[in-house]
Amino acid sequence: MKGDAAGRDAYPHADLGAVPARGPRRPARIIAIDGPAGSGKSTTARAVAAELQLPHLDSGSLYRAVTWALLQGGVPEAEWANLDPEEVRALGLRLDPASPQEPGGPPRFRVEVDGRDPGEALRSVRVTQRVSTAAAIPAVRTALLQLQRDTARRTGVVADGRDMGTVVFPDADLKIFLVADPEERARRRLLQEGREVSPINLARERALLEARDRRDSGRETAPLVQATDAVRLDTTGMDFREQVEEILRLARTPLDP
């Protein structure tokens, strides 16, 4: 799956508009980082963005925000699949430029839902367990596609998610596909959340990550798949700084004209 065809096949009913053109006249840079759950995409993308002083777009937070809004609105899960793009847009999702979260951090976008900041609720268990269901709905993806492109076109971006290189930014300047062994991903996720790295927690976390990967890879619309022109980076044995440096090295390599 590569190039604009991927986007158009994935969204047969959507008017996708023009894909941002690649070439020397485009001032902004777009770096797409995709991969399975817990592969370290967001932390890596944030560090790369800070170095390059590009904004960081965490596309997962958009799908989490839609999920949160549907749950808050009391929309029964059985009805999610019947939503149309207008109803998703009516949830009032916005991406606003915001100050860096920490000194020296990258510019970033704050996700707002109908004028409210969902904050930590986006990463709650309730949202995490349902986000893959919401993300598989074509109307949800159609509604978020243009929002992501419009945001990135203005500023350039380091974007992380599942379909950044295949669908949203098929002409990204650099595409990375980050992977790591499931056991290692589970370990990192427990550490990130400050939980004990015990065998039982590891087994549970691994099962949850793998279940989400199966749903994300198995869906019809914009499945999690490596773009044919992405660089695959297995970070299982790498430390964090090494993987960031490797992406920066690739990002600084001049593009073909």
Residues at the interface with ligand CDP (CB under 6 A): 37-38, 42, 59-60, 63-64, 131-132, 135, 161-164, 212, 216
The DSSP-derived string for 149-200 is HHHHHHH-EEEEESSIIIII-TT-SEEEEEE--HHHHHHHHHHHTT----HH
Cβ contacts of 152 within 8 Å, gap of 6 or more: 20, 28, 30, 57, 159, 169
**Cβ-based nearer residue to ligand CDP, 27 or 125:** 125
- CA–CA gap between residue 88 and residue 77 (Å, rounded): 14
Torsion of CA 67, 206, 39, 196, to 10 degrees: 100
Cβ 59 to ligand CDP, closest distance in Å? Answer: 4
**Cβ-based nearer residue to ligand CDP, 50 or 61:** 61
**Cβ-based nearer residue to ligand CDP, 25 or 108:** 108
**Cβ-based nearer residue to ligand CDP, 60 or 156:** 60
- CA–CA gap between residue 187 and residue 35 (Å, rounded): 17
Is the separation of the CB atoms in 60 and 161 below 8 Å? yes
**Cβ-based nearer residue to ligand CDP, 204 or 252:** 204
